[in-house]
A and B are shown apart, each in its own frame.
Chain A
Amino acid sequence: MIELRNSAHIVTHGQAVYWVIDDEPLLLWASSKGVHPRESQIHALLEGIVPHRYLRNFSALNMAEQLSLCRSRVLVCGCGGLGGVVANLLARGGIGFIRLVDGDVFVPSNLNRQWFSDVAHLGWPKASAARDGMLRINPLVEIEAVDEPLDASNARSLLQGMDLCVDALDNLETRFLLDTWCRREGIALVHGAVSGWLGQATTFLPNRALGMESIFGKRRTRDALEESLGVPGPTVSLIGSLQAMEVMRLLAGKSPCYEGRLLYFDGESGQMSLIPLA
């Protein structure tokens, strides 16, 4: 019987003192119990011990909020530009279970912006490559990779058991499909989209009146000129980071920043606008 407290030590961070524990004893504990490592981080937090890797989340998050993240289950739709950023940050943040969905493989034109693409992973399925990268970042979280596109046949089962969903897709048709299923299943959806130096993000909570049409109106395909603007790396990194922040806030029980309003960032003027949605 391994007691986590015996492997923990005390550190001072800011003005507070914390009991912390490193990955290795947590992984050993999980292995000795025959459970997934994500159970070990939950168990530690319940005992008032912070996994050392989450220490700098404090006191932006408190113990109960970090515990809530570690118990959460999130679906990330799209593992390219936005999705790669979101998935990376959620793994670092300790979200207990992350399901990744993407039917594409990495190609050279992804390398300018997609965090899990690298020379060694060209030709790899994006979701699986992201899972491997995330487990190298944080072996305490559980990652499931689905190397298929989201569509009407799998949307419902992919959303099953999820606390929250992230829209990191790259086309309007699938964004609307995801919006429809999140509404039906009563799951919050954190939307992000980019083009060129422009980006946007918003949050749709369960039981909402507003949906994707409040942003795109009747449009169901991307404007050719908008699509031709490309996607530089900093734009997806910015919007993906804002999405990850919103996800962490929601899972921690904090109020959302972007419910009912669209954050619109214009990198050519530096202007950020919050546009009310109706």
Chain B
Amino acid sequence: MPLTVVLAASLRKYVADYDPAVGKKVDAAPGATVRQVAEQLGIAGEEVKLIMVNGRAGEWDTVLQGNERVALFPPVGGG
């Protein structure tokens, strides 16, 4: 099933061809969780606390149906 994964800041290092304007198109197994999709991209989970699926709060165990926009937000800390 097709998904769009949106990554910010430090997470982009995991995806070489990441395009910030459109995100990363991913083909995941039907019923995959956010965690499984992140693992598929090689993203280390403990770095991320903030997850949204189609603009709503998501979790690592949120089950995806296909065509969602999964956004992972690693926090920033500078000032």
Contacts and interface: CB of A to CB of B under 8 A. Distances in A.
Interface of A: 78, 80-83, 168-172, 175, 192-196, 198-200, 214-219, 222-223, 225-227, 229, 231, 236, 262, 264, 266, 268-269, 271, 273, 275-278
B13 A225 contact: yes
Q: Helix, strand, loop or mixed for chain B's interface?
A: mixed
Contacts of B55: 273
23 contacts: A80-B79, A168-B79, A170-B77, A172-B77, A195-B77, A198-B8, A199-B76, A200-B76, A216-B49, A219-B47, A219-B75, A222-B77, A222-B78, A225-B10, A227-B77, A231-B78, A236-B79, A262-B73, A264-B8, A266-B20, A273-B55, A273-B71, A275-B73
Q: Helix, strand, loop or mixed for chain A's interface?
A: mixed
B79 A262 contact: no
A127 to B, nearest CB: 14
A192 B78 CA distance: 9
A215 B78 contact: no
Contact of A195 (B20, B47, B76): B76
A262 B9 contact: no
A156 to B, nearest CB: 22
B16 interface: no
A198 B76 contact: yes
A20 to B, nearest CB: 36
Nearest to B76: A195
Given A268-B21, A275-B57, A275-B73, A214 B49 contact: yes
